[in-house]
Amino acid sequence: MQGAYSASKFAMEALTDSLRVELRQWGIPVSLIEPGAIDTSIWGKGLAEADEFEQALDERAHQLYDGQIAAIRKMAEKSAEEAVPPIEVARAVAHALISEKPKTRYLVGRDARIQAVLARVVPDRQRDWLMARTIGMPAPE
């Protein structure tokens, strides 16, 4: 249920990678800031929107999606608890802006670093299974 959000993040990654190559000839560095869960109001807003969405579902939709909604709610609540302060993102941005040799990527937060490692070393289907199991998504029928 985060397809559009995820797509926007992948688009930012692709744009950043392209700009880094295109601007290289002029010595213009381009960095991607990749934050994990950040302690902002997004978590409360997201949970409130999920409540509204869930209340608007008909009986069949509840049968189909209640397990996913519960898993995503649990994940959001856990992420909110483990979220890092916004200052950590600000520090990464500041480093990227003032460093003579900024990193190409700044992973902010433990969860962002874990996701990056998993993406590099765990095959897609195993990572899907691990993610689904970790957040309590229903098993395939």
Residue 90: give its domain's CATH number.
3.40.50.720
Contact present, 138 and 68 (Cβ < 8 Å): yes
Q: How far is it, in rounded angstroms, from Cα 52 to Cα 128?
A: 27
Nearest to 98 by CA among 34, 49, 19, 29: 29
Task: Tell me the residue range of the domain where 21 lies.
Answer: 3-135
pLDDT tens-place string over residues 4-48: 888 999 999 999 999 999 999 999 999 999 999 999 998 888 888
Share of the chain above pLDDT 70, in %: 99
Q: Each residue of 91-105: pLDDT tens digit?
A: 999 999 999 999 999
pLDDT of 2 above 90: no
Any domain includes 126: yes
Give the span between the Cα atoms of 121 and 44, in whole angstroms. 33
Burial of 36 (0-12, 13-18, 19+ CB in 10 A): buried
Catalytic residues: 5
Domain assignment of residue 140, yes or no: no
